Structure 1
Amino acid sequence: MKRNIVNYIKEYGISLFITKSIRRLYLKSNSVLATKINAYNEDKVRQALSSIVLNKEFKKSNLFKKKQSLNSEPIWIMWWQGYDQAPKIVKACINSIRRNNVNHEVILITKDNFQDYVNLPTFVLNKVDLGCISITHLSDMIRALLLYIYGGVWCDATILDIQPIPDEVFKSNFYTIRTDLKTKDPSHGNWTTFFMSSRPRNILMKKIAIYHFQFWKEYNEIIDYIMFDYIIKIISQNDEYARRQIETVPKNNSQTFELRKYINKPYNDELKNKIKTFEQNTYLFKLSWKDQFIKNDNSLYHHILNKYL
């Protein structure tokens, strides 16, 4: 931890480190002061990242070539260790996507097969091996490449899908979950990075990949954990076509975060009725494998496992 702090300050300066540290203290607060601090932090990170990724060229054409011939409109999921090593809730989520989307090829990306589908710069792979780039942030680059090269839908491995993903999602040039909630990240509810779809050769996806590569070519410490969101924000502010793609996505799945709040609650009639209200406008629910699940056979968690495992 101490080494990471020292390296962060070396790469970005003490001012940005202090700004982010103060913001972290107020992260759970919704006060006026906390809102101002969050906005100031967001602006400073965005400015710093913009100076790194904008107005630079990254010429690696082989990174954007197909390596597989696939059926159109695949669904991409990634669990680095593979399905057999995944937590039960992850297996249930993957199964829910497979079960509800039988007309689409569902491809699970792992450490053993990712290079069958995409090429990554050698410096990225080296920095993964060195621990500079986490698997989480590696997946950000992989998803952008997959969607640009092959198109389809990217689903995080902790998304519970309760019905077939509509055709409009696959047919849209770009689609994402849009809750319109005033979140404390640069998306502000206008997009999510855990569920995205794209047609092949979408310039938004290409720029997302390129900006990640440009960043990691020069730096060893990530500027912010949610750098992916900042990159989308920067692209939308500097590319009118990309901005229109994002803005035209209709509000959808507005209750995507709600189911997780009840994961350990008894699965009784009261909760069933509440879930029915969620399902009126939501079919994709973002869960987490990091939650502490209680040992209760009557909980929502166990209901999900019983249904999808």
Structure 2
Amino acid sequence: MGIWQYYKQAGGFKLLIQYWKAHVLGYAFLEFILLGKSKTALEIFRLAVNNRIHEKLKRKYKYVITKKLTIPEKGKCQKSNKVWVCWFQGVENAPLLVRRCYESLCKYLRDREIVLITQDNLFNYVQFPDYILKKWEAGVITNTHFSDLLRLELLIKYGGTWIDATVLCTSGKYPKYLFDSDLFFFQKLKPGKDGDCIPLSSWFITSISNNKILIATRELLYTYWHEHDFLVDYFLFHHFMYMACEEYPEEYNKVVKFSNSIPHILSLGLFQQYDEEKYQALVDMTCFHKLSYKLNEDNIKRKGTYYSILINQ
């Protein structure tokens, strides 16, 4: 990958602005010069800059979670069979892939209460500070990052499982801990975890209500957005949630380890030619597959791919 191609893929001028606001632009420039432009070097560069941002966030916001947070007693923490899914415009207005994903959850999670959150009903379930709503309405906080706050509010208040609207379910057979744990999320595990400062995923989170790690994460995010009108890093949620995990190691160590790479296998090969044997092997490994609705139109039109068989039917 050439320098210009990487620059455009990573966000172009917006990336430079982001690095400048995060006070890591000079560091990023030096690392880029030292490491070179090979694919491996660019990945090391990304991890290095990400780690720099993470350390800055830890130094600035550590005080938020080291102070005494209001954490309810264990008896006030309840499990729930609710599955929270959100598409602000309503699923009927969603892209085809999102509609298929939602249909798959309804088909296979029949023992769960699936609750679809939209812009019309979200305030029936949760409330937000005024400054958060004003920044969301002004576009300072995007829908994507508002949904980070939404999943926290829902899980802290009710418990249950948050599943992103772009997750395809392919079977009703799944380990009980995915939905019954006090806290569960997919993680990056060793050896791939080495060098990654935010080794967790947020697209599938199960929690009891009033979980202390989620409460701490919410406190960090609210503090950040109270002070800023820009996003210092796209994965701000992940930075803060991992800080909360480190603050409560006993709770974090109870989370069942499940690699977040396996649920991405289908996404990486979505436009390859469909192979029934390989597909069944994948379904045996996991019934949840994290996809994206942002797809190339030419790829969508191709016949005989996993997409055409599983989504475009």
TM-score interval (norm. to shorter): 0.7 to 0.9
Match of 1:258 in 2: 265
Aligned residue for 2:276?
A: 272
> In the aligned structure 2, how far is the partner of 1:3 from the partner of 1:276?
41
Q: Match for residue 291 of structure 1?
A: 295
Alignment partner of 1:72 out of 70, 76, 80? 80
Distance 1:179 1:7 in 2: 25
* 2:234 counterpart of 1:225: yes
Cα separation, partners in 2 of 1:12 and 1:286, compared to 1, 3 Å: closer
How far has the Cα of 1:179 moved from its partner?
Answer: 5.0
Alignment-derived partner of residue 176 in structure 1: 185
Deviations along 1:129-170, whole A, 9 cap, x unmatched? Answer: 221111100001110111111111111111111123543222
Unaligned stretches of 5+ in structure 1?
65-69
Taking structure 1 as reference, are residues 263 and 141 closer, same or farther at Cα in structure 2, changes over 3 Å only? same
**Residue of structure 2 equivalent to 1:206:** 215
Deviations 1:206-264 (A, max 9, x none): 1111111010000111110011111122112222234323xx41225652111122322
Q: Which of residues 117, 126, 137 is equivalent to 1:109?
A: 117
| 230-239 vs 33-42, greater mean Cα deviation | 33-42
Unaligned runs of at least 5 residues, structure 2 = 1-11, 73-77
1:11-160 to 2 correspondences below 5 Å: 11-13=21-23, 16-20=24-28, 30-31=39-40, 33-34=41-42, 36-56=44-64, 72-160=80-168
Identity in percent: 24
| Structure 2 CA distance for partners of 1:171 and 1:46, relative to 1, 3 Å | same
Aligned partners of 2:145, 2:45: CA distance in 1, in Å? Answer: 25
Looking at structure 2, the residues matched to 134 and 49 of structure 1 have their Cα atoms a distance apart, in angstroms, of 20
Distance 1:22 1:261, change over 3 A: farther
Distance 1:46 1:264 in 2: 34
RMSD: 3.2
Shift of 1:59: 11
The alignment partner of 2:263 has SS state of coil
Contact 2:161 2:205 in 1 (8 A): yes
Tell me the CA shift for residue 266 of structure 1. 3.1
Q: 1:55: Cα distance to partner?
A: 1.5
Q: 1:23 to 1:263 in 2, by over 3 A?
A: farther
- Counterpart residue identity of residue 218, structure 2: A
TM-score of the pair, normalised by structure 1: 0.81
TM-score with structure 2 setting the length: 0.80
Deviations 1:31-81 (A, max 9, x none): 3x44553443233211221234322389998xx9xxxxx993200111111
Say if 2:166 and 2:291, in contact at 8 Å, map to a contact too.
yes
Instruction: Choose from 289, 297, 311 the match for 1:305.
Output: 311
**Code of the aligned partner of 2:55:** Q
Question: SS state of the match for residue 64, structure 2?
Answer: coil
C-alpha separation in 2, matches of 1:111 and 1:22: 44
